[in-house]
Amino acid sequence: MMTSSLDNVSRETIAKLEDFAALVQKWTVKINLVSKSSSEDLWNRHVLDSAQLFELAPRKGRWVDLGSGGGFPGIVVAILAQGAGTEHEITLVESDQRKAVFLRTAIRELALDAKVLSERIENLPPLKADILSARALTDLAGLCGFADLHLDAKGLALFPKGVQWEKELKSAQEQWQCSYDVIKSKSNPEAAILKIKDIVRV
């Protein structure tokens, strides 16, 4: 089992991540939380990929994960935050009611400190997140629009992107101005995590 993003994590936290992965596998049969191909490599494709975001974030603040789906990265972040004793207030936003039920079940069974909002992102009042994340939700321009609504003026957005990240960034810059850092993904050398702040519509 690869643990490259989890080298300094306790055995108890690793065990809780493994319990969560098992829960995802169980529920995926019913509600398709992750694709069949990626479920066969759930740890590397989803758990470690999500754990990278926690490493890049401040150690406290209001963390909002948009389109949480199967709990990546939101539930992984909640597990790591609990294990590290960080001061995060974690909110998962998921409009699909079945997936929202799964997320609440995971939070309850794993005894995590997080809440779920089962609403459409654009229908929620501004959440004023200090940290905003979204994985496999929409293109970067769309994510910047959500950040414009829900990210605090001094907040940080963490958006993992696949091999087309440069193309998405260029397209987003036609609509949005921002400051950003590009962090190479540990789970896919052709992918990247975009650390974005100071988002303003052009």
Annotated binding site for S-adenosyl-L-methionine: 67, 72, 121-122, 135
Which of left, alpha, beta for 117 (phi over 0: left; psi -120 to 50: alpha)? beta
Residue 136, helix vs strand vs coil: coil
The secondary structure of 75-114 as a DSSP string is HHHHHHHHHHT-EEEEEEE---HHHHHHHHHHHHHTT--E
Binding-site positions: 67, 72, 121-122, 135
In this structure, are residues 93 and 135 in contact, taking their beta carbons and an 8 Å threshold? no
Kindly give the residue spans of alpha helices, DSSP state H, lying in the chain: 11-31, 36-39, 42, 49-56, 74-84, 97-109, 140-150, 165-172
Sign of the C-alpha dihedral, residues 5, 7, 8, 11?
Answer: positive
Measured distance CA(200)–CA(95) in Å, rounded: 26
